[in-house]
């Protein structure tokens, strides 16, 4: 018997279950039913013969709950199983590719995939329905339901930069596990940079022995300085094969990025003849600072031969149909100064540096086509004219993607406005207050903003929208010295990305997502993920309906109500110097029933010189007209007891001060 609710595309319009199944991304359709399936160590996996590898991975996952891998049996073995999960295939299933149907009854659990990827994604949903960590009592109940599900986009990606900071292969594999957990299917692996070349190329060993190491790195808290410590590392080809195979088993494609023609200082330092060595002051080195640097590959036949050699080895390691060639932030200064480049421009009728870049990218595209691969690059590859079959990854907003789709090119949307996970998850001031190791590049991208993104721009027609392959988030690693810092920026925003990439637009609902996220956070915590805290943007209201009035203006959105909103991370901030007689008055929703302690702290790291109250008093009143002094402010803090019946609290400035004023949470 069907009970409670059906969650379909109407979910985004309010037809939500009271307790939605804690699955992220939100499935296309959920039908809940009566009863539960009891999972235990005795639960075995029966599987289609073509799903043996997926069954083994699932068995290992279940073993983390029970202490031993689940037993697996081929479906053809007609043996009785008292408790089973069936993994099956049905190419005729009425869902798109990578879709599945999950049926949970009190007797059994059944996953039917349209293909192997679909069956695997069904197992990810089951894992999310099970408890996080080991089973306490040896058993767990899974609610009965039928889930019909498939992805909105074919490209559901996460980017990982290992050029600025290098992470061990085991960390990369663990990251792949979490991509799979969220049904993401692309790892865009950024392998080369000005600050380090991370992929072994047999024909050019100095790319890693020289280009894989730099002399120094900026320390946290001083991005324009150096720590003087040699830094580096790279992945051997054997390690790369292992990682690629690990990802493939989990239905994830690893797309390598080899940066061309810019962000190439490490490679050019290893082999200086690859750069513009005919210009004055030519002295390449592996860069020790972040930012955009001038060393770019020269557009010569020698360089194109080098690129052909490198891509030959890259293509042998990565079966991905796409090879990412970067193409972003390639300064034209060295080309402008190069006599060799000027000769090329005259010969090929190239007007400027953008034309040279277009010429360069088109040559690289021909090399990739000769190897049966497709070129994808950041939206700067449009400059000077887009190569004929290129796919564009739009990062500088959406316009590059919009223009490319209108011209008939495939695009992956990766705008820095919504998908740059190197930005802060919470306000910079509050993050840096925790320590300089919390430094990020800048910007604020809370999880709600990530969730709000629609990868199909409204400017595209339905036909043009078909060129949007999907969406991807970026983890640039300038400020990620350890993989724990990567996790801090990736989680929990990766969950919002997953829903953007998978769930039909009409089924998205942020409040519903937040309900389901609670269960997923438990999985993060049980696995020891160093996740960031959820930041909820402040709302202009007090925590209980109390009201505030003040004679002081407000700086930006640091409203007076934030001094009594229940959050330690928000505060009131004045917008001017203080005058004697200025006040900040809190009118309580309900008077105090008994003598009550009050504590107020002013000032803090957000403001210059602390912006604390230097001269002032805390007063209390029952009627708002007769006031009694409770305490003086000393070092910006006032503490005291207010009598029963207090309905109003007032901070009164007793002497002018040049600094502004910050008031943190008023504690009663």
Domain shared by 565 and 499, yes or no: no
- Do 230 and 143 belong together in one domain? no
Residues 432 and 472 in one domain: yes
| Average pLDDT of span 358-368 | 97
In-domain check, residue 511: no
Token pair 């990305």 is found at: 497
98 with 165, same domain: the answer is: no
Q: How far is CA 16 from the centre of its chain?
A: 26
In a domain, 517, yes or no: no
Average of per-residue pLDDT across 127-137: 93
Do 559 and 443 share a domain, yes or no? no
Q: Tell whether 315 and 340 lie within a shared domain.
A: yes
Average pLDDT score over the chain: 94
pLDDT band (50, 70, 90) for residue 11: very low
Helix (H, G, I), strand (E, B) or coil at 40: strand
- The one-character DSSP state at 374 is E
- Tally the domains of the chain: 3
User: Do 139 and 176 share a structural domain?
Assistant: no
Query: Is 513 a domain residue?
Result: no
Q: What CATH number is associated with residue 595?
A: 2.60.120.260
What is each CA distance from 241 to 2, 279, 313, 418, in whole angstroms? 47, 39, 12, 32
Q: Is 240 within a domain?
A: yes
Closest of 10, 23, 2 to residue 523, by C-alpha? 23
State the pLDDT at residue 606: 54
Res 572 pLDDT > 60: yes
641 assigned to some structural domain: yes
Confidence of residue 388 (pLDDT cuts 50, 70, 90): confident
pLDDT digit string (tens) for 615-648?
999 999 999 999 999 999 999 999 999 999 999 9
What is the pLDDT, as a whole number, of residue 200? 98
For residues 14-21, average pLDDT? 57
Same domain, 59 and 162: no
- Mean pLDDT of the region 342-364: 97
Q: Pick from 108, 124, 149: which residue ends a domain?
A: 149
Report the percent of the chain where pLDDT is more than 90.
91
Q: Which domain covers residue 632, as residue numbers?
A: 547-663
- Amino acid 609: pLDDT: 56
Mean predicted confidence (pLDDT) in 154-182:
98
Residue 535 domain-assigned (yes or no): no
Q: Both 435 and 558 in a single domain?
A: no
- Provide mean pLDDT across the span 168-190: 98
608, pLDDT greater than 60:
no
Q: What CATH number is given to the structural domain containing 262?
A: 3.20.20.80
Could you say which of 438, 470, 503 is where a domain stops? 503
Cβ atoms within 10 Å, residue 422: 24
Quick one: 346 and 477 in the same domain?
yes
Q: Give CA–CA dist 412/208, Å, rounded.
A: 30
Calculate mean pLDDT across residues 222-226.
96
Q: Mean per-residue pLDDT for 639-660?
A: 96
Antiparallel, parallel or unpaired: β 628-632 and 139-149: unpaired
Judge whether 38 lies within some domain: yes
The domain spanning residue 78 has which CATH number?
Answer: 3.30.379.10
pTM (predicted TM-score):
0.85
Please indicate, yes or no, whether residues 386 and 250 belong to a single structural domain of this protein: yes
CA distance 326 to 567: 42
Calpha distance 211→286 (Å, rounded): 6
Report if residue 532 sits inside a domain: no
* Amino acid 536: pLDDT: 80
Q: Which of 11-15, 145-149, 509-513 has the lowest mean pLDDT?
A: 11-15
What is the DSSP secondary structure assignment for residue 99, as one 8-state letter? -
> Which pLDDT score, from 0 to 100, does residue 538 have?
81
Residue that finishes a domain, picked among 488, 503, 518: 503
Choose the weakest-confidence range: 62-66, 439-443, 473-477, 538-542.
538-542
Same domain, 122 and 195: no
Nearest to 312 by CA among 258, 371, 271: 371
**What is the per-residue pLDDT for 2?**
36
Position 48 scores a pLDDT of 98
What residues does 468 pair with on adjacent strands? 411
């Amino acid at each position: 018997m069907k009970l409670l609710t059906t969650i379909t595309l109407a979910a985004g319009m309010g037809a939500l279950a009271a307790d939605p199944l804690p699955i992220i991304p939100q499935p296309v359709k959920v039908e809940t039913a009566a009863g539960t399936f009891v999972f235990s160590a005795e639960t075995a996996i029966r599987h289609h013969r073509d799903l043996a590898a997926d069954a083994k991975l699932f068995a290992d996952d279940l073993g983390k709950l029970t202490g031993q891998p689940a037993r697996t049996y081929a479906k053809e073995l007609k043996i009785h199983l008292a408790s089973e999960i069936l993994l099956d295939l049905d190419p005729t299933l009425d869902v798109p590719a990578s879709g599945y149907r999950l049926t949970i009854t009190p007797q059994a659990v059944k996953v039917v995939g349209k293909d192997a990827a679909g069956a695997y994604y069904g197992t990810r949903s089951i894992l999310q329905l099970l408890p996080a960590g080991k089973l306490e009592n040896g058993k767990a109940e899974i609610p009965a339901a039928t889930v019909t599900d498939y992805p909105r986009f074919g490209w559901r990606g996460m980017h990982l930069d290992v050029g600025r900071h290098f992470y061990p292969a085991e960390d990369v594999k663990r990251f792949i596990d979490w991509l799979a957990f969220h049904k993401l299917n692309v790892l865009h692996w950024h392998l080369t940079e000005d600050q380090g070349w991370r992929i072994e190329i047999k024909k050019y060993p100095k790319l890693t022995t020289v280009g894989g190491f730099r002399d120094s790195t900026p320390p946290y808290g001083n991005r324009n300085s150096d720590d003087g410590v040699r830094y580096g590392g790279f992945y051997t080809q054997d390690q790369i094969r292992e990682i690629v195979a690990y990802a493939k088993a989990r239905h994830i494609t690893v797309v390598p990025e080899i940066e061309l023609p810019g962000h190439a200082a490490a490679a050019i330092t290893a082999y200086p003849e690859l750069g513009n060595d005919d210009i004055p002051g030519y002295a390449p080195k592996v860069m020790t600072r972040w930012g955009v640097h001038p060393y770019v590959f020269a557009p010569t036949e020698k360089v194109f031969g080098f690129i052909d050699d490198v891509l030959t080895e890259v293509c042998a390691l990565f079966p991905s149909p796409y090879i990412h060639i970067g193409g972003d932030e390639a300064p034209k200064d060295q080309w402008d100064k190069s006599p060799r480049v000027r000769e090329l421009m005259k010969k090929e009728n190239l007007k400027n540096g953008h034309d040279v870049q277009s010429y360069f990218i088109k040559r690289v595209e021909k090399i990739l086509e000769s190897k049966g691969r497709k070129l994808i690059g950041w939206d700067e590859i449009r400059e000077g004219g887009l190569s004929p079959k290129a796919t564009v990854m739009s990062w500088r907003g959406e316009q590059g993607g919009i223009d490319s789709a209108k011209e008939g090119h495939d695009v992956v949307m990766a705008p820095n406005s919504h998908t740059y996970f190197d930005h802060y998850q919470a306000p910079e001031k509050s993050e840096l207050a925790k320590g300089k190791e919390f430094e990020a590049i800048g910007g604020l991208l809370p999880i709600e903003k990530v969730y709000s993104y629609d990868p199909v721009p409204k400017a595209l027609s339905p036909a043009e929208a078909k060129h949007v392959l999907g969406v991807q988030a970026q983890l640039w690693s300038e400020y990620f010295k350890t993989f724990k810092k990567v996790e801090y920026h990736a989680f929990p925003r990766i969950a919002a990305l997953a829903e953007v990439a998978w769930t039909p637009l009409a089924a998205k609902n942020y409040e519903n997502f937040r309900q389901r996220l609670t269960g997923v956070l438990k999985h993060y915590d049980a696995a020891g993920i160093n996740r960031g805290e959820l930041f909820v943007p402040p709302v202009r209201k007090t925590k209980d309906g109390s009201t505030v009035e003040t004679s002081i203006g407000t700086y930006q959105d640091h409203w007076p109500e934030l001094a009594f909103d229940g959050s330690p991370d928000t505060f009131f901030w004045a917008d001017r110097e203080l005058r004697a007689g200025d006040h900040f008055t809190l009118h309580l929703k309900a008077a105090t029933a008994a003598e009550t302690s009050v504590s107020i702290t002013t000032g803090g790291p957000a403001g210059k010189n602390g912006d604390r109250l230097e001269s002032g008093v805390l007063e209390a009143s029952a009627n708002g007209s007769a006031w009694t002094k409770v305490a003086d402010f000393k070092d910006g803090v006032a503490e005291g007891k207010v009598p029963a019946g207090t309905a109003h609290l007032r901070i009164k400035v007793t002497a002018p001060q040049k600094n502004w004023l910050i008031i943190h949470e008023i504690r009663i």
